[in-house]
């Protein structure tokens, strides 16, 4: 975690103390159990949260409870065939609802926009770089997608990525690649593999100290990132006010508002990990929130994109902004694209 992020966390702590607000009611020496997937990236991200909480509350013990999820157990089946993002979260959510965990740390982009009854997002941390990253095979002389010869194979597990790239670079081919980041990189670098490059989330590579593998960053107008990409979300039980108060020191307002608007957009469009919806959200120069969003057909031949801005001061306004942007997309024809995708879901090629 960067010194800037830590400074923001500590400043939040000072603000809470200075404001005289009541702190969490946890007794000292209580153990707070934090759920995580067992992958290396998931554990790195969970340790970022645990370490920040431990620094803020030295008298509380924070224990990481790691487990393997449905998505981790099956590394061969294409993501779209699972049908929902809950494959990364549902086993951990069972433990949360059974009071065997106090919180779960997720990559926010892996969290369904409709959480199970009794669960809610307790905090969204400051966003890492949300862009996608181009990673060329080790030793490759190519530096960009434009450089790749016709028929070159791009490895990605995301129809959002493949659909947008097909639109710009129809000369490229795409193959699914599953596994954790290390496994995917090993598949890429295997001299016998067909992959010329991979497209991965920059945030994961940076958190794993693999930034040197990034050949280049991809962003608009070529590739808009996934909803919530780059942010960490902490899930808690609805009604657990003590844990909610404890997490106040971690929440980052701008990231929270941006990500809630993005999640509202996706929820309205009923999109998921197998639907090509891309976004970019930022603070405009006039203080408003600016969102770019795109929906692309699976073959990249049809697309609808919009750019909207609105004054967004709180979570309710962020939720409304997402719905407004979704409405603009539908009015421009995105609904027809999504309907065709849903009718042909068996042909989705992640």
Query: Which residues are catalytically annotated?
Result: 110
Measuring CA to CA, which residue among 92, 51, 45, 44 is closest to residue 68?
A: 92
Helices 181-189 and 40-56, packing angle to 10 deg: 140
CB contact at 8 A, 158 and 199: yes
The number of beta carbons lying within 10 Å of the beta carbon of residue 173 is: 14
In order of 42, 67, 245, the CA distances from 73 in angstroms are: 15, 11, 34
Task: Output the six-digit token pair for 133.
Answer: 């990253």
CB contact at 8 A, 49 and 232: yes
Query: What is the distance between the alpha carbons of residues 91 and 69, in angstroms, rounded to a whole number?
Result: 6
Query: What is the distance between the alpha carbons of residues 73 and 57, in angstroms, rounded to a whole number?
Result: 35
Q: Would you say how long the chain is, in residues? A: 350
* Contacts within 8 Å (CB) and 24+ apart, 21-29: 22/245, 23/245, 24/57, 24/242, 24/243, 24/245, 24/246, 25/242, 25/245, 26/57, 26/60, 26/242, 26/246, 28/59, 28/60, 29/59, 29/60, 29/61
Query: What is the distance between the alpha carbons of residues 208 and 182, in angstroms, rounded to a whole number?
Result: 10
């Amino acid at each position: 975690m960067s010194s800037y992020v830590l400074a923001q966390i500590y400043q939040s702590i000072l603000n809470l103390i200075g404001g005289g607000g009541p702190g969490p009611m946890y007794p000292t020496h209580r153990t707070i159990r934090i759920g995580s997937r067992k992958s290396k990236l998931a554990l790195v991200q969970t340790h970022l949260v645990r370490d920040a909480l431990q620094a803020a509350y030295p008298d509380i013990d924070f224990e990481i409870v790691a487990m393997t999820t449905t998505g981790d157990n099956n590394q061969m089946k294409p993501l779209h065939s699972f049908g929902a993002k809950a494959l990364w979260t549902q086993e951990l959510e069972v433990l949360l609802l059974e009071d065997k965990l106090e919180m779960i740390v997720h990559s926010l982009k892996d969290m369904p926009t409709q959480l199970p009854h009794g669960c809610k997002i307790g905090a969204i941390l400051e966003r890492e770089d949300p862009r996608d990253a181009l990673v060329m095979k080790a030793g490759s002389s190519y530096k960009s997608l434009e450089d790749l010869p016709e028929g070159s194979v791009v490895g990605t597990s995301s129809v959002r990525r493949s659909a947008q790239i097909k639109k710009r670079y129809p000369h490229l081919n795409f193959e699914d690649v599953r596994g954790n980041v290390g496994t995917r990189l090993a598949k890429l670098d295997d001299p016998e593999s067909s992959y010329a490059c991979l497209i991965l989330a920059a945030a994961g590579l940076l958190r794993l100290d693999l930034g040197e593998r990034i050949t280049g960053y991809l962003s608009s107008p070529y590739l808009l990132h996934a909803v919530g990409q780059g942010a960490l979300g902490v899930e808690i039980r609805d009604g657990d006010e003590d844990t909610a108060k404890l997490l106040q020191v971690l929440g980052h307002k701008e990231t929270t508002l941006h990500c809630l608007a993005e999640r509202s957009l996706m929820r309205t469009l009923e999109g998921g990990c197998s639907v090509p919806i891309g976004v970019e959200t930022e603070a405009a120069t006039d203080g408003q929130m600016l969102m770019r969003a795109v929906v692309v057909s699976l073959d990249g031949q049809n697309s609808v994109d919009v750019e909207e801005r609105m004054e967004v001061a709180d979570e309710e306004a962020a939720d409304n902004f997402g719905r407004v942007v979704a409405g603009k997309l539908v009015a421009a024809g995105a609904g027809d694209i999504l309907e065709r995708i849903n009718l042909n879901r068996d042909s989705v090629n992640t």
